[in-house]
Copies of this chain bind each other. A is one copy, B any other.
């Protein structure tokens, strides 16, 4: 069956998005191509018209995920009152919603350790995406120059990712909220200069 005009591009993007969610929710194994394609009402055989391999999908879908997350953060920052952008970003990142929705959340917080186990080529590509991600936020950071802003970005975001990871590992709901609340007020105080 030959399929309608623009369908291929649509399917391609659907696979990308579904995979980006699946990898973040379930890890880089444990669902697989068959599962993702099935979710979309397709069969796994067709996958290879869109991607070279599972590794190819992994790299591309995570790149996509970095972009999506950055875009969302940018919106949060833009809709915050002037001077409160960083605070808004911190509150958004350390929210219960983020912790409860890994599928559309920060890549570092869902697949960080996994990324460091990838072959060099994959890590390289993802490192580039991380830099794009970083440079989208550097403007909101305090610091005398770009180097200082970048350094603060790196410390804050990696720290917050750790908090989200720990919160997700905790089973007790109240422990989780307590951790998030404590972290929120501490990060805001330290980085956004308030309580």
Binding site for B on A (CB under 8 A): 26-27, 29-30, 102, 108-117, 120, 123-124, 126-127, 130, 151-152, 154-155, 157-163, 165-172, 178-179, 182-183, 186, 190
* Cα A179 to Cα B127 with chains together (Å): 14
Residues of the B chain whose Cβ atoms lie less than 8 Å from the Cβ of A120: 171
Contact (A178, B166) CB under 8 Å given A113-B111, A123-B171, A171-B127: no
Which of B152, B171, B186 is close to A155, meaning CB atoms less than 8 Å apart?
Answer: B186
The answer, among B26, B116, B163, for a CB contact under 8 Å with A158, is B163
Cα distance, A23 to B193, chains bound together (Å): 40
Known: A123-B171, A159-B162, A165-B165. 5 other contacts (CB 8 A): A109-B162, A116-B168, A152-B182, A158-B165, A159-B183
Chain B residues positioned under 8 Å from A126 (CB to CB):
169
A126 to B170, CA, bound (A): 9
**Contact A165 B168, CB 8 Å, known A113-B112, A114-B113:** no
Q: Contact at A151–B165, with CB atoms within 8 Å?
A: no
Secondary structure dominating the interface of A: helix
Give the number of copies in the complex.
2
Contacting pair B158 A162 (CB below 8 A): yes
Interchain Cβ contacts under 8 Å between A and B, 5 examples = A29-B29, A112-B112, A155-B182, A161-B166, A190-B190
A109-B113, A127-B171 known; A182 vs B165 contact (CB < 8 Å):
no
CB neighbours (8 Å) of A102 from chain B are: 113, 116
Shortest distance between the CB of A42 and any CB in chain B (Å): 25
